[in-house]
Amino acid sequence: MAKRDYYEILKVSRDIDQEGLKKAYRKVALEYHPDRNPDDPEAEETFKEISEAYSVLSDPEKRQAYDRFGHSMGGAGAGFQSQDFGSFGDLFGDLFGEAFGFSGGRGGRQRGRGQRGADLRYNLEITLDDVLKGLEKSLEIPKMRSCTDCHGSGVNEGSKRESCGQCGGAGQVLFQQGLFRIQRPCDACNGAGEIIRDPCRPCRGSGRTEGMQTISVKIPPGVGDGSRLRLSNEGEAGISGGPPGDLYVVLNVKSHPILEREDQNLHCEVPITFVQAVLGAEIEVPTLEGKEILRVPEGTQTGGTFRLRGKGLPSLRSSVRGDQFVRIFVEVPTKLSSRQREILEEFAEETDAEVSKGSHPTIHGFMEKLRNLFD
């Protein structure tokens, strides 16, 4: 069965802002929450749809990808999952926090044991030459790492964590307030589900310490500006034995002083003299692999474009390279000697006669159009 539109599921317009989206989500989620609809499979399925829709639209990058590609988001949206909002306490904690005595967001479950470490972002500037050849680079990343003294356990050697007796290790306690069944973090263990009697001194029981880590990253040939590389498990260490986050390396391709990129192809503009354009010449053209000799035929005009096959960039999927396009710009001299002026004036006299005979087709054609326009 085809998936329903996320905006339709949340009953909002496509131009709604994040605050309005959040309010709409709370309204429909409250209506279909399993705690209000026990033993109702249809309501439970609708709630899953609502959670999935909000998990995508509440993330700016995922929302942008969904707006462009819909449910066929491919790489831009693949890998995300609907959020697990197990109870009213998790879902509406920020609404009822002060009234019922627990904090907002996802309550103790966020702070509980086994919490995943944060994802990190590193902006890396590379050159067109790196895009051509690929690159392996070492990055120095400041992050929270697993404590080496306690190996991430948070307790001193010979000691261990104890299950919280008040919440039975759940990290949360449940109470009823009218219609609502509310979960909140356990006061005894602060939502961790465990109690540390003998905390590790260097990390103070958190299992993590600040530090720098050297990470090697391989940049494949053909990457584009803005590409993101994900290094799994290279983000910050998890809390209380939770898994580490990921590291996202965002690539910025530095502008080249001469060459411009268009997908796999490269473009450049090369100036030549008036004489070279008239008589033809061999000129040097810069490429990513050095200078290339290009034969410019006589009579070349400004805007004339030549192709250097295979001098462009590879793609991520193939080693076959694009081409480099060279656009010619004829530079007219601004200072002439008396002798040069004399020669050009003689040339001009002969040229005027030649134009009338049609030996300069572009100028001759323009003059004919001009005469027809005003005659």
Task: Give the domain range for residue 125.
Answer: 119-161+196-254
Average pLDDT by consecutive 10-residue portion of the chain (375 residues)?
Answer: 83 90 90 80 87 88 79 44 41 42 39 72 94 94 87 82 82 71 77 81 84 91 92 87 88 94 96 93 95 94 95 91 96 90 86 61 77 80
For the domain that residue 40 is a member of, what is the CATH number? 1.10.287.110
Say if residue 298 is in the same domain as residue 281.
yes
Whether residue 44 is contained in a domain is answered as: yes
CATH number of the structural domain spanning residue 355: 2.60.260.20
Number of domains in the chain: 3
133 and 241 co-located in one domain? yes
Contact 38, 78 (CB under 8 A): no
Q: Is residue 111 part of a domain?
A: no
Same domain, yes or no: 247 and 335: no
How far is C-alpha 184 from the chain's CA centre? Answer: 36
Examine residue 177 and state whether it is found in any structural domain, yes or no: no
Residues 248 and 359 in one domain: no
Task: Evaluate whether residue 167 is within a structural domain.
Answer: no
Instruction: For residues 145 and 250, state if they share a domain.
Output: yes
* Phi-psi domain of 324 (left: phi exceeds 0; alpha: psi -120 through 50; beta: other): beta
User: 248 with 366, same domain?
Assistant: no
Chain mean position to CA 8 = 27
* 133: in domain: yes
pLDDT value of position 2: 64
DSSP 257: S
φ, ψ of residue 362 in degrees (nearest 5): -65, -50
| Same-domain status, 266 and 249 | no
Q: Is residue 175 part of a domain?
A: no
Instruction: Say whether both 129 and 245 belong to one domain.
Output: yes
Q: Are residues 338 and 229 in the same domain?
A: no
Q: Which residues of 69-79 are buried (b: 16+ CB within 10 A; e: fewer)?
A: eeeebeeebee
Which residues have CB under 8 Å from 361's CB, separation 6+? none
* Alpha helix (H) residue ranges in the chain: 6-10, 18-32, 41-57, 60-69, 74-77, 88-91, 93-100, 107-111, 128-133, 274-279, 338-356, 361-374
Are 250 and 264 within one domain?
no
299 within some domain:
yes
- What does pTM read for this prediction? 0.58
Task: Say if residues 112 and 192 touch (Cβ distance below 8 Å).
Answer: yes
Q: Which of 238, 254, 270 is the last residue of a domain?
A: 254
Residue 86 host element (H or E): none
* Cα separation, 153 vs 113, whole angstroms: 11
Q: Are residues 304 and 204 in the same domain?
A: no
112 in any annotated domain: no
Whether residue 365 is found in the same domain as residue 292: yes
The Cα 140–Cα 251 span in angstroms is: 16
* pLDDT at residue number 86: 42
- Domain stop point among 254, 271, 290: 254
